[in-house]
Amino acid sequence: MASITKRGKYWRAQVRRRGYPTQFRTFDTKALAEAWARQLESEMDRGVFKSREEAERTTFAEALERYWNEVGSKKRFPKLERYRINRWLRHSLSSYFLANLRGADFAKFRDERRAAGKAENTIRLDLALVSHLFEVARKEWGMEGLANPLKNIRKPSGSKERDRRLRADEYERIAEELAFSGNPWIRPMFDMAIETSLRQGMLCKLQWDWVDLPARVIRIPIEYRMTGNKVVPPALPLSTKAVRVLEALPRTDDPRIFPTSQNALILVWKRTLRNLEISDLRWHDLRHEAASRLFERGLNVMEVAAITGHKSLNMLRRYTHLNPEDLALRLG
């Protein structure tokens, strides 16, 4: 039989049963204490009881830091994981105990992020981190009785497919504006993004030691190729225009081809679009432009994938947007 006692303003419930660890918890009212005790006794009677003690005394913030130390920091690219964890640590839910977090709490977080205009995939990744944290806690941290509240809510489906390509005269206008940006590296990076399909982060990492101009190839070391959807090929073939861009670049003491930062690139890009009053173009759309142009040059699927680094046909399809006018001409 459970023991319910009053201690000052609060009620303390204690459940003792042979074969189970003693369970106790403090509540604001006697009714809550009795309900909690009845639930535990019922679970013990049915043989399905699992202790929630650890989950009831571990805050979400403490769990996030433990997750970082044991899981997140050991991932191949932990920087983004740490960024998401820090975002959760700033949220009001971080002070809650794990056992008190509900699906409704995370559904509210999802809806607030949507209202703030955040991308669906960004929200999905934030929630996926927490879901994995709960699974690790349940399976490896001795919190078998902890339910995963993320299983009870609707997840964002991911990013919406974009089909934005450069429109008539946009290339010329953007190229001219970038040439007078004050940063001499952004203009050639613009051309290299279109010619190679490389992302901005990889463009900033390219080194002269990797370049074989006579063979028209950039050989990328394995530690820079990344994984998943961020993969790049081990040997990137260069178009004639890409070779011309590289040949025209000055050499510096920096081993990188483009000795500038990704942040500088983003700032110049945003200012350029603002000056040109172009509101719906992103730098990443240049990757879509590159993949589409490769197909328009007559390359087949395997050849394009060898340049873009896509592992699946479905993902490559998302990055390819052929002009229907060009297709009509090819049909004859």
Task: Quote the CA–CA distance of 285 and 27 in Å, as a whole number.
Answer: 55
Q: What is the pTM of this model?
A: 0.60
Domains and CATH numbers, the chain: 3-49 (no CATH), 57-152 (1.10.150.130), 170-331 (1.10.443.10)
Radius of gyration from C-alpha coordinates of the chain: 28
Are 158 and 121 within 8 A, CB to CB? yes
Q: Tokens representing 212?
A: 């074989």
Provide the greatest CA pair distance for the chain.
Answer: 89
> Which pLDDT does position 250 carry in this prediction?
93
Counting other chains too, the contacts that 209-215 makes at CB distance below 8 Å and 24 or more residues apart are: 209/255, 211/246, 211/257, 213/238, 213/243, 213/246, 213/247
Q: What is the pLDDT of residue 327?
A: 55
Let me know: does 66 contact 143? Beta carbons within 8 Å. no
**pLDDT tens, 18-42?**
766 677 667 788 888 888 778 767 7
**pLDDT tens-digit profile of 283-327?**
999 988 998 898 888 888 888 888 888 777 766 776 666 666 665
What is the C-alpha to C-alpha distance for residues 328 and 332, in angstroms, rounded to an integer? 7
Per-residue model confidence as pLDDT tens digits over 156-193: 876 566 778 888 899 999 999 999 999 999 999 999 99
Dihedral pair phi/psi, residue 7, rounded to 5°: -130, 100
Mean per-residue pLDDT over the chain, rounded: 86
DSSP H helices in the chain: 30-46, 53-57, 60-70, 78-89, 103-115, 120-140, 170-179, 186-196, 200-205, 240-248, 262-276, 285-296, 301-308, 313-318, 324-331
Among candidate residues 96, 90, 71, 92, the one with its CA nearest the CA of residue 81: 71
pLDDT grade, residue 196 (50/70/90)? very high
Q: What is the mean pLDDT of residues 128-144?
A: 89
In whole angstroms, give the CA distance from residue 272 to residue 69.
Answer: 41
pLDDT tens digits for range 220-268: 998 887 665 567 888 999 999 999 999 999 999 999 999 999 999 999 9
**What are the structure tokens assigned to 305, written together?**
């994938």
